[in-house]
Amino acid sequence: MYQVIIVIHVLLGLGVVGLVLMQQGKGADAGAAFGTGSSGSVFGAQGAASFLSRTTAILAALFFTTSLGLAVLNSQQSVAKDLIINNKAQQDVPSAVSNPVSAELPVVPSSTNGSEPAK
């Protein structure tokens, strides 16, 4: 479920970016005032702007909703989840590699007889 929401979240983000880039700036309205033929477009003179802005607002609201959903799902997990390194790979690491300080210390055998010095 978590991965499905992430995929939807990424697609919504790309959709918002694409729709924002498709919209015209406020300076483009001056050219339409002189009759450059924008009224003959598919959506009419102002139809495309309102359609794109409404679609952008809907996708942005869905993007925020998926953001909140991902935050809630992530806060309910008790263990940190790493997508790159799995738990089995962490368990296969030898203890000397995971703790380099203990690998450098020499092993001194303990003697039962107090007369012999440690080697």
DSSP string covering the chain, please?
-HHHHHHHHHHHHHHHHHHHHHS--GGGHHHHHTT-SGGGSTT-TTHHHHHHHHHHHHHHHHHHHHHHHHHHHHHH-SS---SSS-HHHHHTS-HHHH-HHHHHSPP-PPPSSTTSPP-
Which single residue is written with the structure tokens 């003959």?
40
The pLDDT assigned to 10 comes to 96
Tens of pLDDT along 96-108? 555 555 555 566 6
CA distances from 45 to 13, 20, 104 (A): 28, 19, 77
Q: Calculate mean pLDDT across residues 63-90.
A: 79
The pLDDT assigned to 35 comes to 56
> Does 65 score more than 70 pLDDT?
yes
Tens of pLDDT along 2-61? 899 999 999 999 999 999 998 877 665 555 555 555 555 555 555 566 888 899 999 999
Which single residue is written with the structure tokens 């590699």?
97
Question: Which tokens sit at 54?
Answer: 């409404």
Q: Identify the band that residue 85 occupies on the pLDDT scale cut at 50, 70 and 90.
A: confident
Which one has a higher pLDDT value, 76 or 117? 76
The pLDDT assigned to 25 comes to 73
Number of neighbouring beta carbons within 10 Å of residue 92: 7
